[in-house]
Amino acid sequence: MGEIRLPRHMFLWSMSVIYLFAFVSLYVQIPGLYGNEGILPVRWQMHYDDETPLLEQLQGAPTLLWLAPWLGLDTQQAMELLCLLGVLLAFGAMVLEALRGSLVFLCLWALYLSLYQVGQVFLYFQWDSLLLETGFLAILVAPLGLLCGRSASRHHDSLTFWLLRWLLFRLMFASGVVKLTSRCPTWWGLTAVTYHYETQCIPTPLAWFAHQLPVWVQKLSVVGTFVIEIAVPFLFFAPIRRLRLTAFYLQVLLQVCIILTGNYNFFNLLTLALCFSLLDDDAVGSWLGRGKRKKAKKSWPETIHSWTTVLVELAVYALIIAGAAVCFQLEINWKNYSVSSKIGFTFHEFSNFLKKATKGSIWIGVLSLTWEVVTAMFSCACVRGFFWKLWATIQWAIFAIAAAGMFALSLVPFTYIEYESHGGLWPVVREAYDTVDRYQLVNSYGLFRRMTGVGGRPEVVIEGSMDKETWTEIEFMYKPGNLSGPLPVVAPHQPRLDWQMWFAALGPQKQSPWFTSLVHRLLQGKKDVIELIQPESQYPFAHEPPAFIRAQLYKYWFTEPKEDGSLPEQWWRRRFAEEFYPTVHLGDPTFENMLDQLLMKDAGPVGRGPEGPLPQALGLVREQLHGLSAPLVLWSLFSTGAAICLLKLLFSGSSGAGGGKPKPAPAAEPKRRAKDPPATAAQKKEPREEGGKENSEERAADSDRSPRKRK
């Protein structure tokens, strides 16, 4: 690869933005999810013991929340403090390049890991694990030190940046493979997308329109998904630059389509940030209009190499297209202007392919990483000066060992997709993975393994009543409930309660024990929990909590489009399926016994939190944000940071062009008067000598700028 200074800069800026989204989104939900009167109070997990050393507590559960008593905070306030620190660091790294150093990203990673350790089911999503793994790699990619200013390229940058490419490969390849290894009939029948748009957690308005597309288009999009997720990732390691750029644009296309049709918080943004590892300075420069100038004439070896490269590219594209046509039996129907498709291989054939592909991808990773290590080593050997060469070599050795270690650890979760390859790993690698597993350094991935809601989208509807006769539905802000409610656009914010309600509907209530605690808090009328569902002004039981609560399971479907093409009055239609949660009330013996069994009942009333300057400051921040929607807070911070970055870019551009001061125009040469004496021979010769001197100096400067001289 060429220089990667610009892609590295883009990746680190994107990571600071994603961390900002993640911390802000979680902060506004802490009181309702983990507060002292929330659904799953984090104080139930943290058992502080003055006799136990702090180091031992950190080894048992690596979270900074153990420092709460030292700071005079309760557990909820400590979580809020960690989130606010993450917001400040992420916002600072977003607007100041000097803060995008390894130390800042180490703090961001440690803060999010601390929250992840106590997040329970509301933080156990694949994108949370992906953020932690990518965030740890950002520590290696970022420049060393703090307040480092504009960092220059380092000789080991290609090693750390390669780890991002390997993570992107594992993420995409595993996500494509698990769709087929799960034996889900919708994926094998290429009909998964016909259910996906209406059964995903929080669809966008465009999802309704995408659902109305013809079936052959839906099936063709599934074929495209398999090609982009299984075949194209192997181009990430292609030695030909244009093949990697093609893979980049295809991955971006897939992620943009997902963003437009579904609210998947910061997951797609994080995947796009990983895609920057496929770029170089020339590719980014071409977007900015600063691409390389083409040579007027090439030598015959360069011409042969160029044509050979083009032929290889065309052969690769033809192989992918032909392979897709054969594997999915694509046929064009010119009469109906459609494309028919179906899978043309068996599960046994795919299993054999997966064995070869998994082992082959491991060897491709070994060879590609070896090439990056050797290239970086030769780059260090070319450094001038003994001290600088020694310093570059030491850095290369450290980061080469780190890259090799991260690659070896990643093989354990990566080979979960193929058990024979997993069994062939060295035991020492698996032992090392088990040792660091709690830190989420490497993880396994596989999104959309099975398509849910084939017989209708299951949705849990909570109802409350004062007399057990008249029932009122408790609608959520984002998840489907009201048939005529608008489809929201909420990303990159993730309403974690809405997501868990979607998961709860996929199985019996016993698989979601936290739901009992939710019902308990609603019967108690806890405002922090209510604000996760609806603003207090729109909550039907805002003045008095319901005396009875129950939950019903419905099946939802998108409505059909109108004949005149106008927007529908109702986005959804539904049908009652079964009872999800029985009618309960406070004091119900069965309900109280269930709370005791699940250890979700408070032993006594929650006292007031500790008092002091820090708790008061945290309470003041919470009061200022009370009543504001999470997307509003999130986008306000991002817009402010983006405006600051834009202003800095504009001012730096104007100062770089001369500080905004126009250069004075050269004075016009006065006309020679008729009475001026004619110039002598010596006077006539001087300008030619001075001009010759200037030309010689320019030629010398040009020779200094030439590639040969620079080397």
- Residues whose CB is less than 8 angstroms from the CB of residue 374 and which lie 6 or more positions away in sequence, other chains included: none
Positive or negative: CA dihedral 115, 121, 127, 133: positive
- What is the reported pLDDT for 674? 41
CB atoms within 10 A of CB 236: 24
- What is the reported pLDDT for 568? 79
pLDDT tens sequence across 107-142: 999 999 999 999 999 998 999 999 999 999 999 999
pLDDT tens sequence across 351-377: 999 999 999 999 999 999 999 999 999
pLDDT over 90 percentage in the chain: 68
Question: What integer is the mean pLDDT of 403-414?
Answer: 96
Lateral strand order in the sheet of 572-584: 472-474, 457-465, 548-558, 572-584
Question: What integer is the mean pLDDT of 394-418?
Answer: 94
Q: Are 31 and 301 in contact (CB under 8 A)?
A: no
pLDDT at 682 over 80: no
pLDDT tens sequence across 461-496: 999 999 999 999 999 999 999 898 889 999 999 999
CB atoms within 10 A of CB 31: 22
- What is the reported pLDDT for 641? 95
- Among residues 485, 502, 461, the alpha carbon closest in space to that of 568 is found at 485
- What is the reported pLDDT for 460? 96
pLDDT tens sequence across 417-456: 999 999 999 999 999 999 999 999 999 998 888 898 898 9
- What is the reported pLDDT for 444? 93
- What is the reported pLDDT for 58? 83
pLDDT at 688 over 50: no
pLDDT at 578 over 90: yes
- What is the reported pLDDT for 293? 61
Question: What integer is the mean pLDDT of 265-290?
Answer: 92
Q: Are 25 and 32 in contact (CB under 8 A)?
A: no
Distance between CA atoms of 167 and 161, rounded to whole angstroms?
Answer: 10
HSE-CB of 199 using CA atoms within 13 angstroms: 20
Cα-atom radius of gyration of the chain, to the nearest Å?
31
- What is the reported pLDDT for 511? 92
- What is the reported pLDDT for 43? 87
Q: Which residue has the higher pLDDT, 390 or 152?
A: 390
Q: What is the mean pLDDT of the chain?
A: 87
∠ Cα 353 226 445 (to 5°): 80
- What is the reported pLDDT for 53? 81
Three-class SS of residue 144? Answer: coil
- The identity of residue 553, as a single letter, is L
Lowest pLDDT segment from 232-236, 278-282, 300-304: 300-304
E strands in 382-521 = 457-465, 472-474
- pTM for this entry: 0.89
What is the crossing angle of helices 102-117 and 5-27, to 10°?
Answer: 30
pLDDT tens sequence across 636-670: 999 999 999 999 988 876 655 444 444 444 444 44
Residue with tokens 């035991």: 427
Q: Which residue has the higher pLDDT, 667 or 587?
A: 587
- What is the reported pLDDT for 607? 59
Q: Are 269 and 361 in contact (CB under 8 A)?
A: no
- What is the reported pLDDT for 357? 96
- What is the reported pLDDT for 603? 61
pLDDT band with cut points at 50, 70 and 90 for residue 610: confident
- The identity of residue 441, as a single letter, is L
- What is the reported pLDDT for 598? 86
pLDDT at 703 over 80: no
pLDDT at 706 over 60: no
pLDDT over 70 percentage in the chain: 88
pLDDT at 309 over 60: yes
pLDDT at 193 over 90: yes
Domain assignments of the chain as residue spans, ordered by start = 1-153+611-653, 457-607
Positive or negative: CA dihedral 51, 55, 60, 64: positive
Q: Which residue has the higher pLDDT, 711 or 666?
A: 666
Question: What integer is the mean pLDDT of 690-697?
Answer: 40
pLDDT at 613 over 80: yes
pLDDT band with cut points at 50, 70 and 90 for residue 604: low
